Amino acid sequence: MTSLTQVSILSRKIIRYSIYTAIFIVIVRYSYLIGTKIYRKYFPEPPPPPTLSFGKLAKIPFPEKEVPKDLVFTLETVDGKLPKFPKQLSVYFMPKAISTINSLDSAKQKATSLGFDPNGVELVETVYLFKHSKSPASLNLNIVTGIFSISYDLNSKPSVLEQPPPDPKTATALAKTYLTRARSLPGDLTGPVANEYLKIQDGKIVPASSLSNANVTKINLYRKDYNDLSNVTGTANQANIWFMFTGSRDPGDQVIAAEYKYFSVDENKSGTYPIKTSDEAWEELKSGNAYFANVDDSSNGNITIRKVYPAYYDPNQYTEFYQPVIVFEGDNNFAAYVSAVANDYVQ
């Protein structure tokens, strides 16, 4: 009997201490996880070293533009400070379009699908001019890259401006339908859509205050964000793909101007590169080592910077890599870009 009592007491002790041990393990584990989380909040785990997959990168081919002189910059962001950037960002490979024996035939099919006469005239090697079959519109098309522009002689048919232009939603649908017909609607053209209302005044295209006062609706189609970063182009506030639509019901008279400058990005071929700090980019801006996308003459050389952020530069000419830039935006629509990749990794 005594032995049974001792066994019972021992069993209860084992169970009790097992429960204590289990509770202790849970508390220790929970404390460890919470402690690690708090520690990582203040001391984040460093990212893996940059891959530098493409070696040294070529400089970004910004459009040729005169660098403004004697600019004086003042930083007035929301908190009065420059933001902190990640230590590295991805760079993507951009495959180059290759000429084939079918390039000209494909270009003629594209021209025909858009209502243009397929019998184009060669302007220079790989660039052809196609005339519209029913309107004074012209298509300038690179048969290798697929880049094109559309122009329209308004002097010969000013009546196309008499009808109210389409609203932004309708114009966006028209633009995408137009590109689909041309087999030129890329999969990553899913970014923001920006619209402008324009009117013809003294023979020039100028901004209109509203749709009711406009002759034309302009639609800008942007590429999607990569790594949660938006993209900018060589012309501030203008996408590399844009259309100007009239209110005409005749398809040949709906587009009076357009540009399509698109180069594909291979999302499966990328590498990470160290980027400049905001302080380094700020110093480069002040020294003039930047691309000035827009400088308003009314600024008189005094530029107040309101916003600083990283973005990708969407080129309007072929370049091998899709690279990040540091964007500086300010009063009077000021915009400038500094190449983001650290200088040691650019040749």
Say what the pLDDT of residue 136 is. Answer: 97
Say what the pLDDT of residue 3 is. Answer: 66
CA atoms within 13 A on the CB side of 305: 25
Local confidence pLDDT in tens for the 347 residues of the chain: 456 677 677 777 777 777 878 888 888 888 888 877 787 677 777 778 999 999 999 999 999 988 888 899 999 999 999 999 999 999 999 999 999 999 999 999 999 999 999 999 999 999 999 999 899 999 999 999 999 999 999 999 999 999 999 999 999 999 999 999 999 999 999 999 999 999 999 889 999 999 999 999 999 999 999 999 999 999 999 999 999 999 999 999 999 999 999 999 999 999 999 999 999 999 999 999 999 999 987 777 899 999 999 999 999 999 999 999 999 999 999 999 999 999 999 99
Say what the pLDDT of residue 193 is. Answer: 98
Say what the pLDDT of residue 92 is. Answer: 98
Say what the pLDDT of residue 206 is. Answer: 96
- Could you tell me the strand order of the sheet in which 255-260 lies? 121-124, 127-131, 137-142, 148-152, 255-260, 241-245, 216-221, 193-201, 204-207
| Chain Cα centroid distance, residue 89 | 15
Bridge partners of 156, per DSSP, are none
Residues 6+ apart with CB under 8 A from 275: 85, 86, 87, 88, 89, 310, 324, 326, 340, 341, 342
Q: Tell me the backbone φ, ψ of residue 305, rounded to 5 degrees.
A: -90, 125
Say what the pLDDT of residue 140 is. Answer: 98
DSSP 156: G
SS3 136: coil
Identity of the residue numbered 67? V
Q: What is the DSSP string of 267-301?
A: EEEEEEEEB--HHHHHHHHHTT-SEEEE--GGGTT
Residues in the chain: 347
Q: Count Cβ atoms below 10 Å from residue 40 Cβ, excluding itself.
A: 10
Domain boundaries, the chain: 1-45, 72-94+267-345, 103-262
Topology classification of domain 72-94+267-345: Lipocalin (2.40.128)
